[in-house]
Amino acid sequence: MGLAVIDGQLELLDQSQLPQVERWLAIDTIPAMVEAIQALRVRGAPLIAIAAALMIAVRAEAGDDRETLLDAIETLRAARPTAVNLSNAMDVLRQSMAATDWRAALVEAADDLADGDVALCEAIGDHGAALIAPGERILTHCNTGGLATAGIGTALGVLRRAHEQDKGIAVWVDETRPLLQGGRLTAWELGALGVPYTLITDNMAAALMARGQVDRVIVGADRIAVNGDAANKIGTYGLAVAAHYHGIPFAVAAPYTTLDPACASGDLIEIEQRAAAEVRGVAGAAGDLCWAPADAPVANPAFDVTPAALITHWIMDAGVFDRADVANGALATGGAAKSLFQ
């Protein structure tokens, strides 16, 4: 997870410098947590929600008053717009404050979100691994492992579980420009787990599919609409189009906390637009390497939306759903979506 509360102090592993620099940061104010989320020091749809929730809990235990905490909830909710987990988690915390002993209820709700995500990842891993045949070569995009969740991950949790079951898989890891979550974080995680992988640039994926070297694509998600459309890291849509063209199964793996029962379709999902500097060069432990003209006009949408028509499986904590299931409302509240406000 790369996140811990120690003696009332929240500490997080700064992912922006990994894997070259492993640096833990103490985060003790709401603005500092907002900065950490926006700079992707902590990232991944489930983990940013958990980080924000634990930050609110730390402030509640520090004695912040009700109005201060409610303001903090709304400030953190706005930190990044696309991943629904953050907003869902803030809603859960607000709901908890209706209790008589609201301070204790809030802290318990935050802890439950973190502990619950561990179990959700295990369920996703088990359900997804059952889909995978021995020897499959599976392509994944961005980072969806222990650095994006409180547990073993979503898509990467499926790959980890399949590996643990000795299915002999091999993974193609998209580097995932511009911030290289795949090349920096997924490669680091899979290497540590001993999962065979090959790092590729994003523009290699379609050619590998054309040569019959990809058996399946499994990615994460940041927000899944009721109709099954899924927002995920930029580049996912192109993978889905290529997989569809080549008849390759394309799965999205996510917990129910990534579902947005209030979102009918993917065209309604706000796509975060990020700084031009991220595209003009690569910032990392080696410092900023800028290769584009400093004034190069840039587009930098951080996510894209894959329509349900290009997705063959939704690997959720409640099970694996196909397009017929989704068309029959499996992702609406009551199906895979359980109620967020139990």
Q: Is 262 exposed, middle or buried (0-12, 13-18, 19+ CB in 10 A)?
A: exposed
Query: Do 44 and 36 touch, CB atoms closer than 8 A?
Result: no
Which stretch in 40-48, 56-64, 189-197, 321-329 sits in contact with ligand LNRAV4D5 by CB under 6 A? 40-48
Name which position in 148, 230, 243, 259 contacts ligand LNRAV4D5 (CB under 6 A).
Answer: 148
Q: What is the 3-state secondary structure (H, E, C) of 78-126?
A: CCCCCCHHHHHHHHHHHHHCCCCCHHHHHHHHHHHHHHHHHHHHHHHHH
Q: Which residues, including other chains, have CB under 8 Å from residue 36's CB and lie 6 or more apart? A: 12, 14, 25, 27, 42, 51
Closer residue to ligand LNRAV4D5, CB minimum distance, 1 or 326? 1
Residues 149-168 within binding reach of ligand LNRAV4D5 (CB under 6 A): 149, 154
For CA atoms 180, 181, 185, 186, the dihedral sign is negative
- 38 labelled as ligand-binding? no
337 binds ligand LNRAV4D5 (CB under 6 A): no
What whole-number distance in Å separates Cα of residue 260 and Cα of residue 228?
Answer: 10
44 binds ligand LNRAV4D5 (CB under 6 A): yes
Query: Do 169 and 160 touch, CB atoms closer than 8 A?
Result: no
Residue with tokens 């903090």: 72
Count of residues engaged in binding ligand LNRAV4D5, rule: CB under 6 A:
17
Backbone angles phi, psi at 219, to 5 degrees: -130, 170
177 binds ligand LNRAV4D5 (CB under 6 A): no
Name which position in 2, 146, 182, 220 contacts ligand LNRAV4D5 (CB under 6 A).
Answer: 220
Which stretch in 148-156, 205-213, 241-249, 316-324 sits in contact with ligand LNRAV4D5 by CB under 6 A? 148-156
Which stretch in 24-32, 69-77, 217-225, 240-248 sits in contact with ligand LNRAV4D5 by CB under 6 A? 217-225
| Length of the chain counted residue by residue | 342
222 is catalytic: yes
**9-13/3-6 β-pairing:** antiparallel
**Active-site residue identified among 117, 174, 202, 222:** 222
Residues known to be catalytic: 222
- Which residues contribute to the site for ligand LNRAV4D5 (CB under 6 A)? 40, 43-46, 142, 144, 148-149, 154, 181, 219-220, 222, 232-233, 302
Mark the binding-site residues for substrate, compressed into ranges: 43-45, 80, 181, 232-233
